[in-house]
Chains A and B, each alone.
Chain A
Amino acid sequence: MKQPVLLKTILDICFILLALTFFSAVIIFIITISHGESFYPITVNGNILTEITPSTVILISAELVIGGLILYTVYIMRKLIRNFLKGKLYTSFQIATLNLVGKLIITITLAKGFIEFLEKILFESKVGVDLGMELSFGSFWFILAIGLFFIYLSKIFQNAKVLKEENELTV
């Protein structure tokens, strides 16, 4: 059982780095809002912002909310792995957490797609939807599939829980 330990370590590193990035971004955002335009220009997702407008504030806030959701997803994945390492499988906690992780991944992916769409309208004055498939695991469709996979996995765990209970009650 070396894989879960490695997975736990990777998720721990991801969580620490994400937490540092997220809280730094929140602090920079708060300082930028409170100190006016003295901190400008700032770059958000490759777009250079030179002025504070309600739309940029809403977009950056939305990005931060998504960042918070990503951090929360990694946090509950860490809890899930720790729970796996305890040795008990197919528990109600694991089923609920797998389902929640799947739902969060789907929500984040869809929200990110929507924000990218809005950014194109606001910063590039273009209206477009990119439904293409990239040659990477970071593709929109692939991440969506991963989210659905987690939900399906929770259903498999649910079935396994019933079978395990039946097995335990077989005399």
Chain B
Amino acid sequence: MAIYVNLDLMLEKRQMKSNELAEKIGITTANLSILKTGKAKAVRFSTLEAICRELDCQPGDILEYREEDL
């Protein structure tokens, strides 16, 4: 998929751990891991909103589009 999730980078910048974020935004660590590893097929606006709120960032800081060779 050409959409990349830079959640690891943002967590590192904010010096926050995955389980801590998962707890704050109210999702399971397993689901957060799916998002971090790029396995997720879709992200709910409510989840994105919660992540942005907790990490004090914009959706564009987490999601990135990179063109892929066909």
Contact = CB atoms under 8 A, between A and B. Distances in A.
Interface of A: 165-166, 169-171
A169 B44 contact: no
Interface stretch (B13-21, B30-38, B53-61): B30-38
A139 to B, nearest CB: 44
A interface majority secondary structure = mixed
Interface of B: 27, 31-32, 34-35, 39-44, 47
A169 B38 CA distance: 10
Contacts of B44: 170-171
Nearest to B42: A170
Contacts of A171: 27, 31-32, 34-35, 40, 42-44, 47
4 tightest A-B contacts by CB?
Answer: A169-B41, A170-B42, A166-B41, A171-B35
A171 to B, nearest CB: 5
Contacts of A166: 41-42
Nearest to A170: B42
